[in-house]
Amino acid sequence: MNISILGAGAMGSLFGGRLAESGQQVTLLDINEAHLEAIRSQGLRLQTDSGDRRVPGLSVCRPEQATGQPDLLLVFTKTQHTEQALRSVATHIGQHTLVLSLQNGLGNAEALCRHLAKEQVMIGMTTWPGDMAGPGHVHSHGEGVVRTFSVDGVERPAHAEVAAVLDAAGLQCALDPNIWTTIWEKVAFNAALNSLCAATGCTVGQLDARPEGPALVRAVVLEVLAVAQAQGIAVDAPRCLGSVSHAIAHHRAHKPSMLQDVLAGRPTEIGAINGEVVARAREVGVAVPHTETLLGLLRLIEARAAAGADE
């Protein structure tokens, strides 16, 4: 399969690298010149549980320089950059190109559908972790899965092909007709852990230093799931609370990407996570006070960083 990755940071490079290793034709599209140049000159360095190696054979370029029309475009920018990135590849996306977002948060389906026919759009979720270790160098440890489905709920043979290609790259991918349940449960997880860590500076494990930590996590998870339920999406609260407890117990040193963004003074994905939950909560009349408070705190932290950058 001919695959382009739009946004080849931690996740885009991890997925692009593993797809290239499994024999697919992969082009990484990014605007980070240092990262592109490192991959051009030395290959992508991928450090995973399968080893520390260089991935040869990857094409890399800026989005507006992409040629041809791929079978699959995988969108892995941060959510706040999706629309600008999609505009820059408008001529690269053919009528038969499927476009898949595995980004966190809500609003990704709508963003893609503003630029593409619904029949081309696939949405999903991944639990694979990834971190940038430097230009051209990506880390990922542990296991993950990918779940995906078409945005219009219709299963076509091309969707099964995409899932099979990702699965054959070892990414443990399956089609999931209940994709909105899967997405909302990940949103609940991220709305609780990412924003609490980003607001407090705690690692995931440090959230249980005081009983207030797990209590706040639980409150946010239940608020987010209540919004999903009010929209008719069947979510499983014990499963979701179990996965946050597991993360607090086992991923103790992990700094969620939202905390890493705050520490680096960058804008965060709070808008696509807590922000979208609050907006949808208003539409369905569900109170989400904890989620909304965390949204406000992160907005203030982002504003302070932006003002500091301007001074």
Interface residues toward ligand NAD, by CB under 6 A: 6-12, 29-32, 63, 76-79, 81, 84-85, 88, 103-104, 126, 129-130, 132, 257, 269
In this structure, what are the phi and psi dihedrals at residue 137, rounded to the nearest 5 degrees?
-140, 120
Whole-number Å distance between alpha carbons of 307 and 304: 5
Q: Which is nearer to ligand NAD, 76 or 184 (CB)?
A: 76
Helices and strands of the chain, counted as H and E runs = 11, 12
CB of 210 to ligand NAD, least distance (A): 26
CA distances from 243 to 33, 119, 127, 221, 294 (A): 37, 32, 11, 11, 20
Q: Which is nearer to ligand NAD, 31 or 174 (CB)?
A: 31
Q: Which is nearer to ligand NAD, 74 or 286 (CB)?
A: 74
Q: Report the residue number whose CB is nearest to ligand NAD.
A: 9
CB of 255 to ligand NAD, least distance (A): 11
CB of 268 to ligand NAD, least distance (A): 10
CB-CB contact of 239 with 186 (8 Å): no
Q: Which is nearer to ligand NAD, 98 or 187 (CB)?
A: 187
CB of 260 to ligand NAD, least distance (A): 9
Q: Which is nearer to ligand NAD, 29 or 183 (CB)?
A: 29
The SS3 of residue 91 is coil
Strands (E) in 164-299, as ranges, are 173-175
CB of 238 to ligand NAD, least distance (A): 23
In this structure, what are the phi and psi dihedrals at residue 286, rounded to the nearest 5 degrees?
-110, 135
